[in-house]
Structure 1
Amino acid sequence: MIEKHIQQQFNEFNRLSGKFAPFIASIPHKRIASIGRALGMFMYGMDVRHRRIVRRNLKFVYPGWSPERVKKVSQCVFQNLGITILEICQIACFSSDDIINKVNIRGEEHLLKAMQNNKGAILITAHLGNWEIVPLFWPLHFKTPLTVVARQIQSKTINQWIHGLRTRFGSRVIYKDDALPEMTRTLRNGKILAILIDQGIKSSLGIKIKFFNKFVSATPAASLLAMRCKSPVLPGFCIRNEDSTFTIYLEAPLVLKRTGDLSADLKSNTQIMTDAIEKIVRKYPEQWFWVHKRWRKYYPHLYPEDMERRRHRRSRKKQRAQSKMSQSFFQKFKD
């Protein structure tokens, strides 16, 4: 019954997006930007919760910024999100030529040189610009699939749609749950693995490092794979240009620590990779995903509403457990 309901949701989503996406695809690129900015400003005005998160994050890492600058960049962040949402619908209807013509690439010589060792390559990246266009462009340009490590979207309907978008031209998606063996296999087969490393990790496996000189919990996956497979690690980012095109920047491989002390090397290399992310975010702050509660683990006071929701959730969970125990007790008593 649940599967039938999900399938109905998926069919409805496809039906609506099938009508909506072609309409958006027909809008000129420059119009998409202006409409997306308007959508972003609407979201900024209506979405109080995420507006607070963005502004608190910016105030936290840029204490010297004036309130006016924080507000302006916050609005730009939402405008970028609005544009990204419309672009995702638009590129879903793009031909391969449309994708090629919309994206430029800089620094591919770094990748070609790194691939000569036949150890594959790890592309570390961030939720910056429009990150969803990279797995579409990559196989068209390099004639080889890109394997992307992704987190499952809670909505199965949207997750299936996004999965189809990412794999449309041949890229592969590995989901984070139990993904390490498949990621290792990808690199040992000499392929390219892309990992988004700019968001927090919930499990106890996260490594405590600094991002914008503030403590965060970061995934050690890219560091562990680089050490295990001896694969080069290249930062790569997709930046939106003013003319509504994109530029993918590929940087030279990072110089990693290999002292033999696994714990120390994991921490050092994860910090090196995170520093590369911070460098590009500082350059394009308005294009990063500041909506994420990146500093929640070590600075929970930044998000007091989140703490309150957690308390209510735990309270409701406890009440349900107690109610279930009471029902079980009375049922046994009746029996």
Structure 2
Amino acid sequence: EVYSEASKKGLAKGVQEHFVRNLVECFLQVAQPDHVRKTVTVQGIEHLDAALAKGNGVIALGAHIGNFVLVGARLGVEGYPFHTLFRIPSDPRIGTIICNYLPPRLHQRVIPSRPRRAAVRQILSALKRNEIVFILGDNLKKGKVQTLFFGQRVFSPRGPVSLALRSGAAVVPLYLIRNYQGGMELIIEPEICLTRNGRLSEDITQNTRHIVGYLENLIRRYPDQWNWLTVRMRSYQKEMVTGSNR
């Protein structure tokens, strides 16, 4: 989309303001584990309950939008078994904080995304127990499914779709945003029904493109709450240049 200079400045300011406010909310949650129950309303919990009633677990599809860190905290404080897939920094001290110190205060468990095979085993195990695994779908740094994201060619990971097709888990979109009144809302949308044509590779490609399209539309609704400070797409530039020269 084309934005005026004034719109760009306003959007950039909004992103920075939301980033700071979300950081403050995270600190408050760590200090007061019941904080989210008092400050975050929930819409659409029936969609999550309906998906869990199927008994195959739920892949909670999210993005770096709003305060995504507190999604699991809000559901976990209500007793939902919640896991977040997270890339652990190489510094072991930070890793210890993320894996051991923060989870009890954020009412969720962390599944390290590396090594990949161990992560897949933990995810499938959680889904088999009919639990929730939160995966951010806008980590579009590298992947095997070529698609378009805001008009740019990207290569999306096939993980969320592949795991859902493999396990039978429901894919339920959810996100925690700040509304126009300044309050925080966790919005849970109806399950995304995946296409199954019997050809796994085609099913993965088609459903992944559908999910990337959904995430793009979500970001269009809340552009100032998309955490551009976290989502980095620089790695595409070389791939796009290479592709354009073919």
- Which of 125, 131, 135 is the equivalent residue of 1:191? 131
| Offset at residue 210 of structure 1 (A) | 1.5
> Which is bigger in relative contact order (C-alpha 8 A, separation at least 6)?
2
Select the structure of larger CA radius of gyration.
1
Post-superposition CA distance 1:185-213 (Å, at most 9, x none): 111111111101111244xx432212123
Q: Distance in 2 between matches of 1:75 and 1:263?
A: 42
Post-superposition CA distance 1:121-177 (Å, at most 9, x none): 111001111111122221212x12201111113444334334422342541110111
Which residues of structure 1 form unaligned runs of 5+? 1-61, 303-335
TM-score in terms of structure 2 length: 0.88
Q: Relative to structure 1, is the Cα distance of residues 135 and 199 closer, same or farther in structure 2, using a 3 angstrom cutoff?
A: same
Q: Distance in 1 between matches of 2:182 and 2:231?
A: 28
Which residues of structure 2 form unaligned runs of 5+? 241-246
- 1:150 aligned partner: 86
- AA partner of residue 213 (structure 1): G
- 2:56 aligned partner: 119
Contact 2:141–2:232 (CA under 8 A) maintained in structure 1: no
Contact 1:120–1:188 (CA under 8 A) maintained in structure 2: yes
Contact 1:167–1:173 (CA under 8 A) maintained in structure 2: no
Post-superposition CA distance 1:55-108 (Å, at most 9, x none): xxxxxxx2x211221121012111111222222222211142x32011111111
- 2:23 aligned partner: 85
Q: Distance in 2 between matches of 1:199 and 1:66?
A: 27
Contact 1:127–1:198 (CA under 8 A) maintained in structure 2: yes
Q: Which runs of 4+ in 1 moved over 6 A?
A: none
Aligned length, in residue pairs: 236
- 1:234 aligned partner: 172
| Offset at residue 296 of structure 1 (A) | 2.9
Post-superposition CA distance 1:225-278 (Å, at most 9, x none): 111011110110010234543111111111211112111111111111112211
| Offset at residue 294 of structure 1 (A) | 4.3
- AA partner of residue 93 (structure 1): A
- AA partner of residue 41 (structure 2): N
Q: Distance in 1 between matches of 2:61 and 2:16?
A: 24
TM-score in terms of structure 1 length: 0.66
Q: Distance in 1 between matches of 2:232 and 2:155?
A: 9
RMSD of aligned Cα (Å): 2.1
Q: Distance in 2 between matches of 1:161 and 1:243?
A: 33
**Aligned ranges 1:303-314 → 2 under 5 Å:** none
Post-superposition CA distance 1:258-309 (Å, at most 9, x none): 112111111111111112211211011000012346443443499xxxxxxx
Q: Relative to structure 1, is the Cα distance of residues 186 and 293 closer, same or farther in structure 2, using a 3 angstrom cutoff?
A: closer
Q: Distance in 2 between matches of 1:206 and 1:117?
A: 30
Q: Percent same amino acid at aligned positions?
A: 27
Contact 1:103–1:248 (CA under 8 A) maintained in structure 2: yes
Q: Distance in 1 between matches of 2:30 and 2:182?
A: 16
Q: Distance in 2 between matches of 1:158 and 1:135?
A: 20
- 2:97 aligned partner: 161
**Aligned ranges 1:261-272 → 2 under 5 Å:** 261-272=199-210
Contact 2:43–2:187 (CA under 8 A) maintained in structure 1: yes
Contact 1:135–1:166 (CA under 8 A) maintained in structure 2: no
Q: Relative to structure 1, is the Cα distance of residues 115 and 200 closer, same or farther in structure 2, using a 3 angstrom cutoff?
A: same
Q: Distance in 2 between matches of 1:300 and 1:82?
A: 31
- 2:110 aligned partner: 173
